[in-house]
Structure formats: C-alpha cells, structure tokens
Amino acid sequence: MGVMAVLMLPLLLLGVSGLLFIYQEVSRLWSKSAVQNKVVVITDAISGLGKECARLFHAGGARLVLCAKNWERLENLYDTLVNVADPSKTFTPKLILLDLSDISCVQDVAKDVLDCYGCVDILINNASVKLKAPAHKISLELDTKIMDANYFGPITLTKALLPNMISRRTGQIVLVNNIQGKFGIPFRTAYAASKHAALGFFDCLRAEVEEYDVVVSTVSPTFIRSYPGQGNWEPSIWKYFFRKLTYGVHPVEVAEEVMRTVRRKKQEVFMANPIPKAALYIRTFLPEFFFAVVACGVKEQLHVPEES
C-alpha cells in the first residue's frame, strides 16, 4: 500500500505527460493536414506576426503567397523559410510586393495570385498601420492613409478573391484585428476607427458567405510583442506568469492561434488578459463608467508621446 502511494504521483504525472504529448502530436498533424497543399495568402508577411504565420503555414505544407511592401525583407524571409524546411514536404513561396493603401495594386495582386494558382484557400489579412496621437494633431490625409491600409486595402483584396471562393464553395478569410476594434482608447482615433470598420465589414460578410461554405474569422489580440528587442524576457517564475500582462503576447502564440482558428474554422477569437476582457464587458454594459475611467486616464497623461 505504502509503495503504491509513493508511486501514485509519478505514475499520474507520467500519464498526464503522455496524454499531453499525444494531444500535441495529434494537434500538430491535424494543423498540418488543415493547410497542406492549400493556397494561403498572407499580407505583410514580414512583420512580427506575419513572419510567424509564414513559418507555421510553410512548415505545414501550404502553398504560400507572401505579400509585403519591402522586397528585400521578403527575400530574406524567403531564404529563411526555404533553408529551414524540408523541400520534399514544402512548397516554394511566391513573393509579391503589396502596398495595401494602393487600391489598384491590391486588385492587380489578387489577379496575379488567381492567374498563378487558380484559387485562394485561405486569406490572412494581417497588414496594418499603427498610429498614436491626439486627434486634432492628425491630418485628414493621415486619417485617410490609415483607413486605406487598415480598411479599404483588406476589403479590396477580400472582395477581389471572394468570387473565386464562392464559386468553389470553399475558403477562409482571416482578419487579424485588435481589441481596439471593439472599444476605443484615447489617442488612437484613426487606428481604432479603422479596426472598428474592418471588424464591422467582416462580421457582416461572415453571415453573407456562410451559405457558400466560406468561413470568416477574426482574431483580435490586445498587444503583440512584435519586435525582438521589445520587452525584457527575464527568466523568473513571477514574470513567466505575468509576462502576457506586462509584455503582451508573443507573435508565435498569436500565429499558433491563427493556425488553430483556420483548423477549427473559428469565427471570432479574442486574445486578451482579464483586464481588457473585463473592459469589453464594462464598455457594453456600463458605458458611462467605462468612459469616466478612460477620461481619468487621459487627464493623467498631459503630454502624450506620439508614435507612428
């Protein structure tokens, strides 16, 4: 009895680890089969999240179309992908220069992809421009630029690829959005407006295309730690548990969530800590309280550092 009691805990741990391992392997294989041979377009494949999505989908055997504004960085990404992956199990990615605020360029890109592959299975609308500044200091030209890149660009690309998905009765469109598409915070007027607009568009579209078996998914993180040097990842247990709260989610985690979203055909994902999640509920059910709290925060920030 005594020996059994001593062995119980290690055996239990071993059993749980085994089950976890099997679950992870099955998930990995399932993810792979969900994207294998699929034509996947990723906009702004060179940013923190875009790059991680490219890596994950490439390893999963997708036929990738990597779009971005910078050719040199696209070529660097291409080299990294083809050097690390097994060429017998992956496809060579196609690179495309794409500035989402140039609407005619967006339409040409869609035509180019369809001419090349004949279809698009998954479109990941990831590109966007950030801006932090008081509204009265942002010119209308800049407001327009943000709307072009964050709203008109993604919807133009989506509309150009949608007829093909509808006629094939299959396809998935993923919008990488931000929790600021659900509620606004000060000094982000143009950004939050563009994210609200994009979310509104894709929420409407979801219902419209469901009967054609086209899936629309939105993934909204709060804060992504995009740059390698951003945040100080110290190896402390305390920081490990609170790092998401302090430093934001790592792009790898968001990319894995995008992959899960594709695999499970999820409709809406919020990657938020309890505080922003609670804020979302407060904004919905107690708007006056929410506005008062946000306004208090503004009064404390008399001098806001501008960021673009």
Ligand X SMILES: NC(=O)c1ccc[n+]([C@@H]2O[C@H](COP(=O)([O-])OP(=O)(O)OC[C@H]3O[C@@H](n4cnc5c(N)ncnc54)[C@H](OP(=O)(O)O)[C@@H]3O)[C@@H](O)[C@H]2O)c1
Per-residue tokens: 168: 């094939």
Least Å distance, CB 89 to ligand X, is 27
Nearer to ligand X, 130 or 206 (CB): 130
The catalytically annotated residue of 23, 191, 240, 281 is 191
CA 257 to chain CA centroid, nearest Å: 8
Least Å distance, CB 212 to ligand X, is 25
Contacting positions for ligand X (CB under 6 A): 44, 46-49, 68-70, 98-101, 126-130, 149, 153, 176, 178, 221, 223-224, 226, 248, 251
Least Å distance, CB 220 to ligand X, is 7
Nearer to ligand X, 32 or 96 (CB): 96
Nearer to ligand X, 50 or 61 (CB): 50
* Strand 63-68 to 214-221 pairing: unpaired
Least Å distance, CB 50 to ligand X, is 6
> Quick one: 283 exposed, middle or buried, by C-beta within 10 A (0-12, 13-18, 19+)?
middle
Of 138, 231, 132, 212, nearest in space to 178 by CA: 132
The amino acid that residue 273 corresponds to is: N
State how far the Cα of 199 lies from the Cα of 6, in Å rounded to an integer.
55
The verdict on whether 191 is a catalytic residue reads yes
Nearer to ligand X, 126 or 189 (CB): 126
Alpha helix (H) residue ranges in the chain: 2-35, 48-59, 71-84, 103-117, 140-147, 153-168, 189-209, 237-247, 251-264, 274-285, 287-300
Q: Catalytic residue positions?
A: 191
